[in-house]
Amino acid sequence: VLHGAAPCPPVVKRGLIDWWGPKIVEYYGSTEGSIITMIDSPEWLERGGSVGRPMPNMEILVLDDDGEPRAAGEEGTLYFRNSMGTDFEYHNAPEKTAEAHLGPGVFTTGDVGYLDDDGYLWLSDRKIDMIISGGVNVYPAEIEGVIGGHPDVLDVAVIGIPNEEFGEEVKALVVAAGSADNEDLATRLIVLCRESLAGIKVPRSIEFRESLPRTGTGKLQKRLLREPFWSGYDRRI
């Protein structure tokens, strides 16, 4: 059973493996770069949360904002090189193509992550979704992983909304499972986040929704969620 498209919360994937057996294979890739990494169930159970090691034809570079390599375990922007020499360009968008390339054949999709000592890739988030609060980079995926692991949560999206003092603050949009009392659940989720995350990453507010917008492949459409909060502000969403 092959799965990909969007990250699967570890608690959900572990449940899938328990149900189906160790036959689930996860891949990480993009429209631009095809399949980049792959991990089978036994590997994943040893490294829950990793998206695997690069395919034989793919090289992964983890670089800081100055283009310098990051050490194992250090987060950075992910760049990829296909040893088969294949590359891509965006249709009628030379500037977008240039922004995505560090050089010929070396490209990024805007994801942030790190490689461990054994060469396994761990994703942190998409750079475009990063929240900057008080000068600190906050990656929503980490917070979503904590909240999404709660049994009373069906779906969650974490976004940055305007804050006059810090620039942005963390807000969680939650779809509750079953008939949980929203006020009580919000309190429990905040407590859970405080126990699991640094203070700057704890949501300032939690808002409940009936559903969250997703694409046909299951990816959250965070732009649609952020847009109402940033209306009237001079910021690209």
CA angle 202, 26, 57 (to 5 degrees): 115
Span(s) in the chain for CATH 3.30.300.30: 130-230
**Residue corresponding to tokens 């690069």:** 54
pLDDT at residue 182, rounded to an integer:
93
**Residue corresponding to tokens 């750079």:** 127
pLDDT at residue 237, rounded to an integer:
40
Q: What topology is assigned to 130-230 in CATH?
A: GMP Synthetase; Chain A, domain 3 (3.30.300)
pLDDT at residue 118, rounded to an integer:
97
Which of the four CATH numbers 3.40.50.620, 2.30.38.10, 1.10.40.60, 3.90.180.10 does domain 2-125 have? 2.30.38.10
- The whole-number mean pLDDT for each consecutive block of 10 residues of the chain, a chain of 237 residues, reads 75 87 90 85 93 94 91 93 80 82 84 94 82 87 93 95 90 91 95 96 97 85 90 61
pTM to 2 decimal places = 0.66
Nearest to 75 by CA among 66, 65, 62: 62
Span(s) in the chain for CATH 2.30.38.10: 2-125
pLDDT at residue 7, rounded to an integer:
65
